Amino acid sequence: MWSLMPEPTELTLPELRAALAHAYDVEAPIGRGGMGLVYVARERRLDRRVAIKVLPPELAVDDASRQKFLREARTVAALTHPNIVPIYTVDEIKNFVFFAMAYVSGETLAQRVATGGPLDAHRAARLLCDIGEALGYAHARGIVHRDVKPDNILLDGDTGRALLSDFGIAHTSPAPVSAARLGRPAAPRGQVIGSAAFMSPEQARGDAVDARSDLYSLGVVAFYALSGRLPFRATTETAFLALHIAEPAPPLARVAPSVPPRLAQIVDRCLAKEPWERFPDAAALVKAVVDTVEPLPVPLAVRAFLVRSTHLEGPAVINTFMTGAILLPMAVAAWLSAAPPVVRGLATATLGAGLIVPGVVAVARVRRLLAAGHDRSDLVAALVARQARRREELHFVYGPRPVGIERAIAWLARVALLGTAAAAATIAGVIAVPLDVLPLLPGVAVASAATSLLASVVARARTEQRTDPRGERRLQFWRGPMGRWLFRLAGVGVEHTPPIVNILHRSETPA
């Protein structure tokens, strides 16, 4: 949990045990937090382990220190969030002022990195989300933590959750603190309070701070968690403050090349010198991280459904050709001619079979997917994730918008089409031209039509390279009413096995 510490000299353990004996069995000191000493104890009444934070006796006699300590207790007691260590009770017994909070079995982030090295991208992203959500909750209630650092982040050994602790120097205001409140300081000017190695530039200068100051500190924490080192190295607090104020942080990708680029960019943005260059609030940071994290592996049955069925593509092409080029004209001819009813019926039945075959194949594939325990939502989710990655890749290669040559080809297709229409109108006598020009018009019409067709084909090919319309159509089909109807039809008589649930990263337990 908290970092281990020697038994403090400010108070003796026997004195504390004697004072709290009616309610707690105090076991041992486990750390220091802000202006208090932290002990692990067992609460007698509920038979549960708790962490007790005690104000040292020499500070307890000072009214200002006592009020500051109790203010921390009141601040945290008002917060109810799964990623904030909750406070159970606040009390004063003899010379001891203390509060009891949840005991988190695990270790601090500082201990985890010191013993196990940098976190992998997945765990670091989860930590960013956990602490980001805790900060967002506190900010919405007018609280700036001002001391976000690895020692104040606890990693629950049972669930893997990250919890924020130690609001000892938090600043509170009656309204939410965010970028929208730049005109109302979230903390007084002229005070430099916090941990120098993790302090935002504005906090290091003693300027007013808002929610984005905590995001800078969280960026330093993320840099440390992913690389195993701080963005700045110094031997004194003054040197740390000067570096945070004046020196740009090194790009995380340069220090830790194995970190996914998009996650590294998020951390770099948190470490921007100017608050307005960072994320506007914790919710925006969490959303960016969630959008960046690589999705969990798609189940085998869904992956198999998405694989191009090359063994079916040949027969599908033949079926399409036979239906469109042979069966449809035969059915139309049979109905338009004086063919006997038997011939008409046979032609219609043959055409119907050609149209039904693709549907039968699709239903069979969907039934196999349903039998494996998956439904349409699993397929759509996989397609959405695949198309998101595909769009990102294509935008990187070809750009998000048409380049100059594509726009030129598109305009050429339009102009050539207009030329074809003008030539056809002239041949039809709609437009009057000199008689000696008339013999040239058929050639002009053909050339314009060919140019328009060729330019359209090239423009379409370039657009498809950048947008993957085939994948988009596939997604829209299975997301739309036809896909819903196919799943409903295919589900008739299928014995469903319990669905395979993708466990979201928020509920994973680290190994």
The token pair at 192 is 């430099």
Q: Which of 63, 91, 147, 291 is catalytic?
A: 147
Residue pair 238/148 in contact (Cβ under 8 Å)? The answer is: no
**72 vs 66: CA distance, rounded Å:** 10
**472 vs 347: CA distance, rounded Å:** 35
The token pair at 398 is 């070809």
Return the number of other C-beta atoms located less than 10 Å from residue 34's C-beta. 18
Buried b (16+ CB within 10 A) or exposed e, 263-285: bbbbbbbbbbbebeebbebbbbb
Q: Cα 39 from chain centroid? A: 37
Q: What crossing angle do the helices spanning 441-467 and 469-479 adopt, rounded to 10°?
A: 70
Query: Which residues contact residue 103 at a Cβ distance below 8 angstroms, ignoring those fewer than 6 apart?
Result: 1, 40, 48, 49, 50, 51
Amino acid at 475: L
DSSP per-residue string spanning 438-468? GGGHHHHHHHHHHHHHHHHHHHHHHHHHHH-
Residue pair 96/16 in contact (Cβ under 8 Å)? The answer is: yes
Q: Where are the alpha helices (DSSP H) in 372-507?
A: 376-398, 404-427, 441-467, 469-479, 481-490
**357 vs 361: CA distance, rounded Å:** 6
- In this structure, which long-range contacts are made by residues 88-92, counting pairs with CB atoms below 8 Å and at least 24 apart in sequence? 88/43, 88/50
Beta bridge partners of 48: 43
Amino acid at 283: A
Query: Which residues contact residue 40 at a Cβ distance below 8 angstroms, ignoring those fewer than 6 apart?
Result: 1, 26, 27, 28, 30, 49, 50, 51, 52, 103
**91 vs 98: CA distance, rounded Å:** 6
Is 147 among the residues known to form the active site?
yes
- Active site positions, annotated: 147
